[in-house]
Amino acid sequence: MTEQAVRWTAEQVLALAPDEASRKAGARLGGAGPWSQTGDSASGSVWGLCKGSGSTPYRTVVDLRGPAYKCSCPSRKFPCKHALGLLLLWAAEGFGEPGEAPDWAAGWLAERVAKSERPAAAAGRPVDEEAAKRRAERRAARITAGVGELEQRLEDVLRDGLAGQQQAGYAPWEETAARMVDAQAPGLAARVRELGTIPSCGPGWPARMLEEGALLHLLNRGWLGLAGLPEPLAATVRSRVGLGGTAAEGEVVRDRWLVLSQYDSVSPDGRLTTRRTWLRGLGSGRPALVLDFGPPGRPPGLALPVGLVLEAEARFRPGSAGLRADLGERAAAAAPCDRIPAGVGTGEALEAYGAALREDPWLDSWPVVLGAVIPIPGELGWQLADAEGDSALPVALPGGGSRSGLWQLAALSGGGPVTVFGECGHRGFTPLTAWHPGCPEPVALG
Amino acid sequence: MTTTGTTTGTTTTTTTGTTADAGYGEWEELVGAALLGTGRRQGNPAALLDAAAVQTVRRRAGLRPAEAGPRPDPAPRDPRPAPPEPARRRLAQLLAGRTGAGSGGGRRGAAPDLTELLPQWLAAAGRHGYRAPHALVPALLEAARARTDLRPQALALAGARGLWLARLNPDWRFALRGGAGGAGELPGPEDRTGVERLWQEGLFAERVALLGTVRAHEAAAATRLLSTTWATERAEDRLMFLDSLRVGLTAADEPFLEAALGDRSRNVRATAAELLSALPESALAGRMAERALACVGPQGVTPPAECDAGMLRDGVVARPPAGRGERAWWLGQLVEAAPLSCWRERFGGLGPAEIVALPVAEGESWREELHAAWCRAAVRQRDPHWSKALLGAASAPPATAPGTASLAERAKLLSILPEGERAEWVAEFIRAHGLSEAFQLLGVCMVPWAGTLGRAVVDALDAAREAGSYPWSFSGVMGLAERCLDPAAADHLESLTTASDGPPDTSPGAAAYWSEAFQRLVATLRLRATMLAELAPGP
């Protein structure tokens, strides 16, 4: 292993920043000025000393395989601005020939290697299976009671007519959602809250409310008839209701995973940040969604720059059309992808979404790479049109509702065809990442 | 997730439902029944939900693409190359850091200031003949929207792709208006009907831009265009149009300006007179010279006794501002508008420096008025010899300067000098008087600062440090230095960042702050050097 780890791009580094403030602070530290004794190793780590306001410089180490970070600064952000600055400097200039890590960095790096080689000991702990089973039965009974109550509520609403919903307001739904939380069915609670907001969401709300109400009803029916469902669908119903499956029983796929997109969304009450990372197996072609969560004020820990390829095992959770995965230890340092992923047309994109609904009828969208599409800006709504023919998908704004990503997409295209990754569903297509023809470096739209 | 009415269902077609489930048929029927409530029709709500669930999943699974709307015309090809990879990343970083600068509050730390670097990156990329990387064009347009000083270079770099985008997004309409980078949608100066139509119908800003373009093409055509509508223009517009003639002023403009001396508006008359006086060959300049020569000579100064009708017509303002004598006020205006070339003969062949050095017989009060007027004349007529004479020696105390002690006035005089002389003069000024008064003077020097000037600034900063001052007393000069010092100065500066603890009586902590300030300066200079090197075309 004399070969040097492939350097990342500045965009990839900045994508790791936990928030806007660290992004700026990191960018300011991305010059040679405050740094000394910088270096990198062939096994994929970089280190350096950063002069701060104090007398001792901060010791910063990054293990590119995680990536994982260690810094002697007191910051609780992760990665801290020093790690970002170090990576930016490395991305811009490199640190010359790979070398041996100094003692202060080598200790931590060795610890990480040791940890990754240690077999997962915790999994072997004996469990009291009887007790676990009793707990599961009790919970299932509570959910069943909750589902009955929810069905009653839905039927009452339909009997009285949706027309009364705008007057009735949100409060009764919030109360129903709280009942679902009591019944230990967080998935149902979230759907009920969503349902309750629809009457205030503008024109066309009755149809949307009927759609979402009917799908909730479908989920209730699925739960009540769980025993009669084939296993994958039963697993989907369980996870949609809010019973987290045990990851241990999932299917394991080893592949080279290309990071297609990574974005955060914050729950309506602002208490939880969800980070979605979309992957695609370059060998298997299989999509994977890795979710990570951060409590208030702290971003999720997992940070994978768009455009990197990492060789790893992904363990897919049962149900939900086989999208949810957890990443195992990575085998080698991540490297940028050298080609544009293959894409499909708009028709195939919708077919893929339709096919996925067979396994999970509650899916809102499906990850799709569109090849050769032309963005069409419009005052009422944007479209992505096939370069050949006259089919198009309506564009749905990303979660934050920001249009700046769309303009970036238009700028890349200049009226010509581009490759776009995004989520394709009944609301339209949400573009997340784009590639300019002939350039494998992805542009994260945001 | 939010949804909008336009993207839900309405723009996509669905497969038609085949059979009616539980007595309900089409989706619309289901929605109608749900709105009214099953209670009215003795229906079963569970059956309605069953049917709706089937229909919903069926509709979603059967989604088909919509018909594509009219596609935008493809953007014209930009033949310029994109900057090399590292330069592209640098631009992204500079644009991302744009909004962050200045938000840090108080102390700036040792990290370089990115906002100062963006204009330089844009200028350097322009010199290399690059186009902006496509993905960064929106961010570039946003930066140009926020900072007008960046517009010409940002728009030039964004090029055809930027204009293409600006046509699609109303927020970026500013890019389509000319003037900023000549990148607008103005008719070409040869397009006579186009020019004529825009001149008649255009908005004020468009008309000003149009006048500028036409004037750059053919000076006389601009005054012809102005004459067609001059009588019907509003006074404030006449003033602005007249002002735009300042660029490329020639003797050919004299007839038009002469006519404007009879304008209804006093401000228009004054501006016309000012422009005419900047033309030493003009009739007005001749009349002013005659009046000025009558007042000033080797024998002394005799200010005019009255402001006659001729003087009024030639733009002399009769009423002085509060606190100034009217005779001194008139004298100042006459001398300011007289061509400087007329004084050599009047003073028996003496040059500007000697004339300026002459004592004024009738007392010091007239001397000050006279020299101040000469300063204004030197600036207006862009005369380097007179400017130099009036500036005097840089090392002499400002109070004893021959022309004016005002730094703002001296900066104006400096801007008339050739680049090299300007830098030399300011360097000497700094060596003699330090940095505290040099800020305005440095502002008119060319970037990067010439070797001697850069050295003078660095030495003066070093001297200030040793004197125990705090670096933020010099933050203005520091900021300028980050932008203007030659990156080659970084090595010399480097030694100052680790400088000694200073004498024991210096202000506590000052040494550390200086070290930090110098570090930032070095870091910024290094970054500038790297930045410029990154822009060099690859092999």
Task: Give A375-400 pLDDT, tens digit per residue.
Answer: 999 877 899 999 988 999 999 876 65
In whole angstroms, give the CA distance from residue A236 to residue A225.
13
| B7 has pLDDT over 70 | no
A376 and B48 within 8 Å at the Cβ level: the answer is no
pLDDT of A214 reads 96
Nearest-angstrom CA–CA distance, A204 and B119? 49
A24 contacts in chain B (CB < 8 Å): 96-97, 100
Contact map slice: A 61-100 vs B, CB within 8 A = 88, 91-93
Q: For residue B58, what is the nearest residue in chain A, using CA coordinates?
A: A354
Confidence at residue A246, expressed as pLDDT on a 0 to 100 scale:
61
Amino acid B374: pLDDT = 92
108-167 in chain B: CB under 8 A from chain A = 109-112, 114, 134-138, 161, 164-165
Between A133 and B287, residue with greater pLDDT: B287
Strand partners, A418: A373
Reduced to 3 states, what is the DSSP secondary structure of residue A397? Answer: coil
Give the long-range contacts of residues A49-57, CB within 8 A, separation 24 or more. Answer: A50/A82, A50/A85, A50/A86, A51/B110, A52/A82, A53/B109
Residue A161 contacts B, CB cutoff 8 Å: yes
Contact A278, A287 (CB under 8 A): yes
DSSP code of residue B185: -
Judge whether B140 and B148 are in contact, CB under 8 Å. Answer: no
Res A180: pLDDT: 92
CB contact under 8 A, B111 and A24: no
Is A388 part of the contact surface with chain B (CB cutoff 8 Å)?
A: no
- Give me the pLDDT at residue A394, please: 93
Contact B34 A210 (CB under 8 A): yes
Report the pLDDT value the prediction gives residue B97, as an integer from 0 to 100.
66
Q: At A70, is the secondary structure helix, strand, or coil?
A: strand
Measured over the CA atoms of residue A242, residue A243, residue A248 and residue A254, the dihedral's sign is negative
Q: Which residues of B touch A385 (CB under 8 A)?
A: 68-69, 71
What's the mean pLDDT when you consider all of chain B?
A: 81
pLDDT tens string B357-392: 887 766 567 888 888 899 999 998 889 999 999 988
pLDDT given at position B515: 79
Kindly write down the DSSP assignment for every residue of A294-346, as one continuous string.
E-TTS--S----TTEEEEEEEEEPSSGGG-BEEEEEESS--EE--SPPP-B-H
Place of tokens 């900063």: B461
Return the top range by mean pLDDT from A180-189, A214-223, B162-171, B209-218. Answer: A214-223
Token output for B318: 């009769």
- Across the range B90-119, mean pLDDT stands at 63
Ramachandran angles phi, psi of B488, nearest 5°: -65, -15
Spell out which residues of chain B touch residue A214, defining contact as CB-CB under 8 Å.
49-50, 52-53, 55-56
- Tell me what pLDDT residue A391 has: 94
* B180 has pLDDT over 50: no
User: Across the interface, do B9 and A207 touch by the CB < 8 Å criterion?
Assistant: yes
Number of H helices and E strands in chain B, helices first, is 26, 3
Q: What is the reported pLDDT for A355?
A: 94
Q: How far apart are CA A327 and CA B484, in angstroms?
A: 50
pLDDT confidence tier of residue B104, bands split at 50, 70 and 90: very low
Tokens for B97?
């850091």
Q: Distance between CA A46 and CA A64 in Å, rounded?
A: 8
Q: Which of B35, B138, B164 sits opposite A404 (nearest CB)?
A: B138
Give the residue-averaged pLDDT of B175-200: 69
Is the CB of residue A278 less than 8 Å from the CB of residue A430?
Answer: no
Binned at pLDDT 50, 70 and 90, residue B497 comes out as: low
Which residues from B are below 8 Å from A392, CB to CB?
A: 65-69
Q: Which residue has the higher pLDDT, B529 or A120?
A: B529
H or E element in which residue A71 lies: strand A68-71
Q: In angstroms, how far is CA B382 from the centroid of its own chain?
A: 21
Interface test with chain B among A50, A82, A165, A211, by most B beta carbons within 10 Å: A211
Tell me how far CA of residue B405 lies from CA of B254, B285, B305, B322, B398, in angstroms: 34, 27, 28, 22, 5
What contacts B173, CB < 8 A, 6 or more positions away? B166
Which of B97-111, B196-210, B217-231, B504-518 has the highest mean predicted lDDT (pLDDT)? B217-231
Are B111 and A399 a contacting pair at CB < 8 A? no
Q: Which residues, other chains included, contact A186 with Cβ-Cβ below 8 Å and sequence gap of 6+?
A: A180, A242
Considering only residues 492 to 531 of chain B, which have any Cβ-Cβ distance to chain A shorter than 8 Å?
A: 519-520, 522-523, 526-527, 530
Q: What is the pLDDT of residue A10?
A: 72
Would you say B134 and A412 are in contact if contact means Cβ atoms under 8 Å apart?
yes
Q: Among partner residues B68, B73, B89, which is closest to A10 by beta-carbon distance?
A: B89
| Residue B268 and residue B276 in contact, taking contact as beta carbons nearer than 8 Å | no
Does residue B324 have a pLDDT over 90?
A: no
d(CA A102, CA A15) in angstroms, rounded, equals: 28
Q: Do A162 and A204 touch, CB atoms closer than 8 A?
A: no
Distance CA A427, CA B7 (A): 6
pLDDT at residue B72 greater than cutoff 70: yes
> What 3-state class would DSSP assign to B508?
coil
Residues of chain A with pLDDT under 50: 1-4, 120-124
Question: Cβ of A158 and B12 within 8 Å?
Answer: no
pLDDT of B15:
37
Q: Do B135 and A411 touch (CB under 8 A)?
A: yes
B81 in A contact zone (CB under 8 Å): no
- Would you state the structure tokens that stand for residue B249, as one six-digit string? 């002023």
Scanning A140-159 for CB atoms below 8 A from B yields 151, 154-156, 158-159
| Most confidently predicted of A437-441, B349-353, B522-526 | B349-353
CB contact under 8 A, B520 and A395: no
Is residue B386 classed exposed, middle or buried when 0-12, 13-18 and 19+ CB atoms within 10 A define those classes?
buried
Q: How far apart are CA A150 and CA A179, in angstroms?
A: 9
B112 CB neighbours in chain A (<8 A) are 28, 31, 33
B160: closest chain A residue by CA: A414
Report how many Cβ contacts below 8 Å link chain A to chain B.
251
**The pair of three-digit structure tokens given for residue B464, joined into one six-digit string:** 């200030």
Alpha-carbon distance of A241 to A236, in angstroms, equals: 9
For residue B445, pLDDT over 90 is answered with no
Given an 8 Å threshold on Cβ–Cβ distance, is B57 in contact with A436?
Answer: no
DSSP A179: H
Angstrom distance (rounded) from CA B144 to CA A147: 56
Residues of A in contact with B29 (CB under 8 A): none
Task: Write the CA distances from A105 to A4, A31, A88, A110, integer angstroms.
Answer: 18, 21, 19, 9
| Beta pairing class for A273-281 and A251-266 | antiparallel
Q: Does B31 touch chain A (CB under 8 A)?
A: yes
